[in-house]
A and B are shown apart, each in its own frame.
Chain A
Amino acid sequence: MYVAVKGGEAAIANAHRLLADRRRGDRAVPALRLDQIVEQLALGVDRVMSEGSLYDRELAALAVVQARGDMIEAIFLVRAYRTTLPRFGYTNPVDTGTMQVERRISATYKDLPGGQVLGPTFDYTHRLLDPELAAGAEVETPAQRPVEPEAMPRVSAILAHEGLIEADGDMPLDHVPGDITREPLQFPMARDIRLQALSRGDEGFLLALGYSTQRGYARNHPFVGEIRIGEVELELDVPELPFAVPLGSIRVTECQMVNQFKGSAKAPPQFTRGYGLVFGQSERKAMAMALCDRALRAGELGEDVVAAAQDEEFVISHSDNVQATGFVEHLKLPHYVDFQAELGLVRRMRAEYEARENEDRPEQKREAAE
């Protein structure tokens, strides 16, 4: 017999009211403004934009505060919002070579056109908590160095001259980039679709997988060929104008990972590449993405698939934290009927088991005695 039950409306309404109160916290403390979050928790906002797969700082800041700082909840909110908007089109591909660079480093070349530019980095800090920051001390204005502008070609373009590194990833000319927001995931998938999934993938998950490749699971000897962070211009082709309309610029992080490769039946010894491109200043994520991209190219490069990071279906199916949290968290919703059914089943199995035990025991005793 199936008995439907209702209830909980008042409890749910009051729980949400309580949530709003706890979110606001002590009324004696000033409420956060979105511009404070955008300006001062900028990298948290960037993570929400990157994994929420929606570039809009103010919306990401709103999501952060609404989610009480729970990043995955904030990412969920942003993903839900973007489904409510119409789509105007696909931009022309961004040109990271013309980026207004705010940081650019290479671990493979010391002297390269444009140089090593550190930008606003945590690198080389001592990771000591700063009590002055807690006291709200004023900060210095940045140093300036008025020099002539210098072009900063991508390191991959410099390396390409020697022929020892593979080219940027090409696809057949008639290939239309796949879009996981339009079509369901299908395995095996082309590299362009994998990159879209990785770009919105969970930073922690991709970081752990990237780390696993360094520790020997799908080892592939990576170097950071280049990381660059900065603003790139967006342009959109629209039917009403005879030129691509400029939309403004967005900040992105790009990572070119370069991997030693001893060759296989499919490809000669050379440096192969993994690529990362993510919204905002998200260097760790871009690096993890590049490591995973390279590991997932195992089949294409004729490598044995021996580790989790090389398993496309495993990595891509589990990289989306909104899907992951949805399925894990659904376990806390009422499963009363399912559980009643399982309880009945386990009771019956236990009774059968005990009946068998009681039948078997006298014989076992006799056998032991003989």
Chain B
Amino acid sequence: MRGQEAREQAGRKALMATLAHAEADEIARLWNEAGLPSEAELLRGPETGLVTVRGRIGGGGAPFNVGEATVTRATVRLPSGQVGHSYALGRDQDKARLAAIADALWQDPAQREAVEAKLAAPLRAALDAARETRRVETAATKVDFFTMVRGED
């Protein structure tokens, strides 16, 4: 049971991470293509506020406050009763609403597979591809040192 609960939370968190990174237009496009239901009661927001970003002294020491970032959040309830939340950097309130609905749908056993396959999977694939492009572009700027042999042998 504990293991299952942990897996459940990890899956939900992974979906929230994907949605937080994704562009609003892309979420909306996939949503429409998948025909996911978007009917939901707004319980909170969407509202924009700040979080204070923390770092650590020296990278791994005591925490300190670096500065703030805009975050938009929403909470919704589906007609079937599931409550969904969303948080993401930025000020996109449409994205916050859709992401909260996606979180609620994911908790509905009847909808989870559709959310995973038609929304999360393609978003994740696009994000992974972009990340990979960035990584190999960066890797091309890695310095290969070589030793100059001087004098005669």
Q: Which of B31-39, B66-74, B113-121 contacts A (4 or more CB under 8 A)?
A: B66-74
Task: Answer whether A170 and B61 are a contact pair too, CB < 8 Å, given A56-B90, A117-B141, A248-B88.
Answer: yes
Residues of A within 8 A of B65 (CB): 90, 177-181, 192, 196
- Are B51's CB and A89's CB within 8 A? yes
- Are B70's CB and A55's CB within 8 A? yes
Give CA–CA (A192, B55) in the complex, Å.
10
Give CA–CA (A167, B60) in the complex, Å.
9
Q: How far is the CB of B46 from chain A (nearest CB, A)?
A: 13
Which one of B13, B60, B135 lies within 8 Å of A168 (CB-CB)? Answer: B60
B2 at the interface (CB under 8 A from A): no
A212 at the interface (CB under 8 A from B): no
Question: Counting chain B CB atoms within 10 Å of each CB, which of A87, A233, A277 scores highest?
Answer: A277
Q: How many A-B residue pairs have CB under 8 A?
A: 228
Chain A window 266-303, contacts with chain B (Cβ cutoff 8 Å), 1 for yes, 0 for no: 00000001010111000000000000000000000000
- Are B136's CB and A55's CB within 8 A? no
Give CA–CA (A90, B135) in the complex, Å.
29
Q: How far is the CB of A210 from chain B (nearest CB, A)?
A: 18
A97 at the interface (CB under 8 A from B): yes
Chain A window 240-281, contacts with chain B (Cβ cutoff 8 Å), 1 for yes, 0 for no: 111101111110101010000000000000000101011100
Residues of A within 8 A of B60 (CB): 97, 154, 156-157, 168
Residues of B within 8 A of A117 (CB): 138-139, 141-143
Task: Answer whether A143 and B137 are a contact pair too, CB < 8 Å, given A94-B53, A250-B53.
Answer: yes
In B40-73, the 8 Å CB interface with A consists of: 47-71, 73
Q: Give how many A residues have a beta carbon under 8 Å from the other chain's beta carbons.
A: 83
Residues of B within 8 A of A66 (CB): none
Give CA–CA (A58, B145) in the complex, Å.
40
- Are B69's CB and A250's CB within 8 A? yes
Which one of B67, B73, B137, B138 lies within 8 Å of A53 (CB-CB)? Answer: B67
B91 at the interface (CB under 8 A from A): yes
Residues of A within 8 A of B54 (CB): 90-94, 177
A27 at the interface (CB under 8 A from B): no
Which one of B63, B70, B88, B131 lies within 8 Å of A56 (CB-CB)? Answer: B70
Q: Which of A100-108, A337-345, A356-364 contacts B (4 or more CB under 8 A)?
A: A100-108
Q: Which of A9-17, A18-26, A145-153, A216-224 contacts B (4 or more CB under 8 A)?
A: A145-153
Of the A-B pairs whose beta carbons lie under 8 Å apart in the complex, a sample of 5, sorted by A's number, is A54-B50, A54-B69, A145-B139, A167-B58, A273-B58
Residue ranges of B at the interface with A (Cβ–Cβ < 8 Å): 9, 12-13, 16-17, 20-21, 47-71, 73, 75, 85, 87-91, 131, 133-143, 145
Given contacts A169-B58, A246-B87, A275-B59, list 18 more A-B pairs with CB under 8 A: A54-B67, A59-B70, A86-B50, A87-B51, A94-B66, A96-B56, A102-B134, A103-B141, A116-B143, A119-B138, A154-B60, A170-B62, A177-B63, A181-B52, A195-B57, A200-B67, A234-B53, A247-B20
